[in-house]
């Protein structure tokens, strides 16, 4: 069984995000970029499944220009067997991403497609669900535990009420939640080995994918600065303040 894991290049979660002075986007020049944390968790789980002998190959894929090769090489250093870059000059919307991954699924025929539940830059939380619908296969989203046996996967899902356990037939789409695992630390020898692992580059034309209608971003603004707090002397004063602000 193959496992296909998707990786997105995002501003590192430790970096304070800054809006460009002209409001045209988020500042990325000189900013540390990394694998989307949820995607890194998805890759770690795929590698653990392979290490248990339940998969033969882990493939990482990303959409973007040559800059995404940095994240793909990191995925290879973690332990993935090979990588696929789908070349795109500008960011794609979730529906286009799902269509691209569907063509990779047809090409590679994986038993599991693993994605992060969402990306920390846009928080869309849509691509995995859209891919499952286009592929017409089961989905197990927000996974916090995955067990594979006899062509099925038992997945613990994080939902508002706690944990929900479902069983899905493979092939299937899965998306990782935060508590699924803790990704491994990449060692220098593995980084060197990753340089020799295969990385294939494909174009949208190679896959026969057309872009869905893009959402046009007109301007970006930072959130308003928080005002200072106010100390009140009693519960009654607190209630009065809340009523004055229209919160009660």
CATH number at residue 213: 3.40.50.620
Beta pairing, strands 199-203 & 82-87: parallel
Q: What was the pLDDT predicted at 170?
A: 96
**Residue 233, exposed/middle/buried by CB under 10 A (0-12, 13-18, 19+)?**
exposed
Q: What was the pLDDT predicted at 211?
A: 79
Q: What was the pLDDT predicted at 26?
A: 86
100-128 pLDDT, tens digit each: 999 999 999 999 999 999 999 889 999 99
**Residue 76, exposed/middle/buried by CB under 10 A (0-12, 13-18, 19+)?**
buried
Q: What was the pLDDT predicted at 224?
A: 84
- Write out the two tokens for 163: 């944990």
Under a CB-based contact definition with an 8 Å cutoff, are residues 18 and 127 in contact? no
Q: What was the pLDDT predicted at 22?
A: 87
Tokens 């809006």 -> residue: 19
**Residue 90, exposed/middle/buried by CB under 10 A (0-12, 13-18, 19+)?**
exposed
Long-range contacts of range 186-195, CB-CB < 8 Å, 24 or more positions apart?
A: 186/74, 186/77, 186/78, 190/77, 190/78, 190/79, 191/73, 191/77, 193/76, 193/77, 194/73, 194/74, 194/76, 194/77, 195/73
pLDDT-flagged residues of the chain (< 70):
none
Domain hosting residue 127, numbered range: 2-244
| Number of structural domains in the chain | 1
Q: What was the pLDDT predicted at 229?
A: 82
Beta pairing, strands 82-87 & 33-35: unpaired
Q: What was the pLDDT predicted at 221?
A: 87
Residue 15: which residues within 8 A CB-CB, separation 6 or more?
A: 31, 32
Give the Cα separation of 29 and 119 in Å (integer).
20
Give the Cα separation of 213 and 201 in Å (integer).
24
């Amino acid at each position: 069984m193959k496992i296909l894991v998707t990786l997105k290049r995002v501003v590192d979660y430790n970096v304070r995000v800054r809006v460009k002075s002209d409001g045209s986007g988020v500042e990325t020049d000189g900013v540390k970029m990394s694998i989307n944390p949820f995607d890194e968790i998805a890759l770690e789980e795929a590698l653990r499944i392979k290490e248990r002998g339940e998969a033969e190959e882990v493939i990482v894929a990303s959409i973007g220009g040559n800059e995404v090769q940095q994240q793909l090489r990191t995925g290879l250093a973690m332990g993935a067997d090979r990588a696929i870059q789908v070349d795109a000059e500008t960011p794609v919307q979730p529906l286009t991403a799902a269509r691209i991954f569907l063509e990779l699924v047809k090409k590679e025929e994986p038993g599991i497609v693993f994605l992060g539940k969402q990306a920390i830059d846009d928080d869309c939380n849509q691509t995995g669900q859209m891919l499952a619908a286009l592929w017409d296969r089961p989905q197990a989203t927000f996974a916090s535990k995955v067990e594979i046996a006899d062509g099925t996967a038992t997945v613990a899902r994080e939902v508002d009420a706690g944990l929900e356990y479902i069983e899905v037939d493979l092939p299937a789409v899965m998306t990782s939640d935060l508590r699924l695992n803790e990704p491994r630390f990449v060692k220098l020898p593995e980084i060197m080995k990753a340089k020799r692992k295969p990385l294939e580059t494909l174009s949208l034309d190679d896959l026969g994918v057309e872009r869905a209608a893009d959402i046009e971003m007109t301007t970006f603004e930072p959130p308003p600065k928080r005002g200072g707090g106010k100390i009140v002397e009693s519960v009654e004063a607190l209630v009065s303040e809340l009523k004055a602000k229209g919160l009660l």
